[in-house]
């Protein structure tokens, strides 16, 4: 008798990674013993000095101890951890999708000159231009999953036309707006009322909360620091993808 593969509950991924990547408040309502220590560490991270701190994704990261994390086993574990964190941060992206688009972005590393566009900028630009990510970063939804639902049900327009593909990649000067009907606008306004507007929407999104419109003005030199409140090692993500 063949048994169907049982998928692990969604929230257990945060427990394994020891990080609340998507800032899910529901985690604090779990009362089982295995969640108590995890919730306590999350509460410590919610302190003002730690929570409202932006992370530069292009800073040089050097281990404090020369011998820490240098073994093959630890490097593999850390790279795998970073890859899962990266995929979960952008809505639970599958390994095949990450591999396809990450390797395509890495190719820019071979022909760019020093001082020009970094391949890590190309990686972040691709994932930051996803439609579901832009809707979520503009606080039009409380989660990327909710943003995907808005897109799939036709509540989002791009340049005046409905787009039902959540992975749709935006181009510079694209105009994103919510459909002009009561149901669509009520859903977004409810999310805005419940949002705490952190992290701060990135500078490449010009948002009008009265008309519920977003102008995507991403440039090669756009500052992505306000987007992240935790550090993502992009080099480790790429290393995991290459070995996988």
For the stretch 168-216, pLDDT in tens is: 999 999 999 999 999 999 999 999 999 888 778 888 899 999 999 999 9
Instruction: Show the DSSP H helices in 46-196 as ranges.
Output: 48-51, 72-89, 95-106, 108-111, 119-128, 131-137, 144-152, 182-194
**Is residue 1 over pLDDT 70?**
no
Edge-first strand order for the sheet with 174-178 is 161-162, 156-158, 174-178, 213-216, 205-208
Question: What does the pLDDT look like over 33-59, one tens digit per residue?
Answer: 888 888 888 777 766 556 666 666 766
222 vs 92, more confident: 92
Which pLDDT score, from 0 to 100, does residue 114 have?
Answer: 46
Q: Which three-class secondary structure state does DSSP give residue 49? A: helix
42 vs 66, more confident: 42
Alpha-carbon distance of 13 to 125, in angstroms, equals 25
Question: What does the pLDDT look like over 139-175, one tens digit per residue?
Answer: 999 999 999 999 999 999 999 999 999 999 999 999 9
DSSP type of residue 227? G
**Is residue 21 over pLDDT 80?**
yes
Which pLDDT score, from 0 to 100, does residue 8 have?
Answer: 63
- The pLDDT confidence band at residue 69, using thresholds 50, 70 and 90, is low
Which pLDDT score, from 0 to 100, does residue 188 have?
Answer: 96
Question: What does the pLDDT look like over 72-127, one tens digit per residue?
Answer: 788 888 888 889 999 999 998 999 999 999 888 777 654 444 444 577 788 888 89
């Amino acid at each position: 008798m063949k048994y169907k593969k049982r998928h692990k509950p969604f929230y257990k991924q945060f427990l394994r990674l020891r990080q609340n990547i998507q800032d899910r408040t529901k985690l604090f309502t779990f009362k089982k013993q295995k969640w108590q220590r995890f919730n306590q560490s999350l509460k410590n991270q919610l302190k003002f000095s730690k929570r409202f701190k932006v992370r530069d994704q292009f800073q040089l990261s050097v281990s404090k101890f020369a011998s820490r994390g240098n073994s093959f086993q630890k490097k593999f574990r850390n790279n795998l951890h970073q890859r899962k964190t990266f995929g979960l941060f952008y809505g639970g992206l599958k390994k095949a999708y990450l591999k396809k688009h990450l390797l395509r972005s890495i190719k820019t590393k071979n022909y760019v000159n020093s001082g020009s566009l970094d391949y890590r900028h190309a990686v972040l630009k691709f994932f930051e231009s996803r439609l579901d990510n832009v809707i979520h970063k503009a606080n039009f939804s409380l989660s990327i999953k909710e943003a995907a639902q808005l897109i799939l049900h036709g509540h989002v327009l791009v340049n005046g036309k409905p787009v039902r593909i959540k992975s749709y990649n935006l181009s510079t000067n694209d105009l994103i707006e919510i459909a002009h009907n009561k149901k669509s606008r009520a859903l977004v306004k409810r999310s805005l009322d419940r949002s705490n507007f952190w992290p701060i929407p990135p500078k490449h999104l010009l948002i009008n909360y009265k008309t519920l419109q977003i102008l995507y003005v991403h440039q090669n030199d756009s500052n992505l620091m306000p987007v992240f409140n935790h550090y993502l090692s992009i080099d480790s993500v790429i290393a995991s993808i290459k070995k996988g």
